[in-house]
Structure 1
Amino acid sequence: MSERTHSSTDDNAWRESQKHLSNSAGHLYSSVLAANRAMIPGLNAGDDADADDRQPAPSLEITYTKPDWTFESSDDGDGVSVGDRVRFTKRLTDAEVQTFADASGDTNRLHLDSEFAEKTRFGRRIAHGTLVSGVISAALARLPGLTIYLSQELEFRGPVHIGEEVTAICEVVEDLGDDRYRVTTVVEDEDGETVIDGEAVVLIDDVPEDEA
């Protein structure tokens, strides 16, 4: 994986200020939950308009999908193994940023106020970093089985602007035993640049029999 090189002092400062390592499952759970609520408003009770266009994923009925989401998997149908790779792509909309701000309580004006954001180093509004990282959870959920987060390390390498399409790429790199796996987790922007790099440990449970 090639690293993205920044030439400006501001970009270097961005990388240093945004580097985040989190091994707390509890903190991760609350952040990912907020991100998922923002990205999948159609799964929330009472949101019938958005729920109407949700569909079972083509290969794994444990997840839902929408027409404008893209999912690819190298799964051969024999369960999780080292080398398995999943990709999940979606666009991060302004509505999702607004919803995430409410769900998480992160109402930083950089994400919500265009006039304010224009005066910052970014020149315009950007999506919350944890909202962007939520697509990692979406990709992991599409591994075969029932995926449960145990830990996640993240490094934020660059901003994602409102309305930009992002892709999470997750690859199983080690079988840790007891149904636990180490997975590389990368998010790329629509230009193919890495904006988040990290690594996760997940537990893969069997899907309940009535859902298999």
Structure 2
Amino acid sequence: MSEDTGATSPLADLTSAWVQLGESAVKSATAMNRAAMGASVTNGEHSEENGDELPTGDDELRSGSIPSLAFEDEDWSFERSVERADAITVGDRVSFSKPVDDEDVKRFAVASGDTNRLHIDDEFAEDSRFGGRIAHGTLVSGLISAALARLPGLTIYLSQDLEFRGPVRIGDRVTATVEVIEALGNDQYRLSTIVSDDEGETIIDGEAVVLIDDLPAE
């Protein structure tokens, strides 16, 4: 019988992440269904009258602070320069910031199927050019989508060009900043999209085109 050292394998970690991901998906779907049936959240406060609940039991989650958001985490932050969709113009910008932690990486590996050991196996990644694990590039670029979701109105992605300039280490806090650089007409806009690290170094650079619809009636 081998002695239990308390260490876990990458496979065991992924299995655990898969279970957690499944639980979160079910709870998220339940919350979305409730929202579709008319549950309301006002000014980011929980609506007890409608029995509205956040997607998980995690105490760090809270109701969205703007109508386009279902929920937020206390460790996320964002700023925006415009509050109405009909007022968006060239120069308006939104920034969104969060840490990319180990749980994010493992859940993304399961959700996407990208189980490249560079992202989930410490011992394997130590011998890579990075000297340790790094986050998936597509996971990090997802913060751009998060920033776009915080524009006024309902943002719909039409296209995205990206250039990856550097890695993100597990636990790094990164910030996505999007800025309107051209109004294309018909509620479409071209934006610069940049993801930077805590020192302000650009990790991802690119451009996106989005369509901004009115929010659905509640």
In the alignment, structure 2 segments of 5+ residues that lack a partner are 1-20, 28-54
Partner of 1:62: 68
Percent sequence identity over aligned pairs:
60
Report which of the two structures shows the higher radius of gyration computed on alpha carbons. 2
Which deviations, in whole Å up to 9, do the C-alpha atoms of 1:65-104 show, x marking residues without a partner? 1111011111143532211100000000101100000000
Which deviations, in whole Å up to 9, do the C-alpha atoms of 1:2-61 show, x marking residues without a partner? xxxxxxxxxxxxxxxxxxxxxxxxxxxxxxxxxxxxxx99963236323x5432333x22
How much is the aligned-residue C-alpha RMSD, in angstroms?
1.9
Distance, in Å, in 2 between the alignment partners of 1:173 and 1:42 is 40
Partner of 2:100: 92
Distance, in Å, in 1 between the alignment partners of 2:142 and 2:83 is 25
In the alignment, structure 1 segments of 5+ residues that lack a partner are 1-39
TM-score (ref. length: structure 2): 0.73
Distance, in Å, in 2 between the alignment partners of 1:168 and 1:128 is 15
Which deviations, in whole Å up to 9, do the C-alpha atoms of 1:128-172 show, x marking residues without a partner? 000000000000000000000000000000000001000000001
**Which of the residues 150, 153, 165 maps onto 2:158?**
150
**Which of the residues 39, 45, 58 maps onto 2:26?**
45
Higher RCO, 1 or 2 (CA under 8 Å, sep at least 6)? 1
**Which of the residues 64, 68, 80 maps onto 1:73?**
80
TM-score (ref. length: structure 1): 0.75
- Which amino acid in the other structure matches residue 124 of structure 2? F
* Distance change >3 Å, CA 44–CA 147, structure 1 → 2: same
Distance, in Å, in 1 between the alignment partners of 2:214 and 2:87 is 9
Task: Indicate if the aligned counterparts of 1:151 and 1:202 stay in contact, CA closer than 8 A.
Answer: yes
Count of residues in Structure 1 that have an aligned counterpart in Structure 2: 169
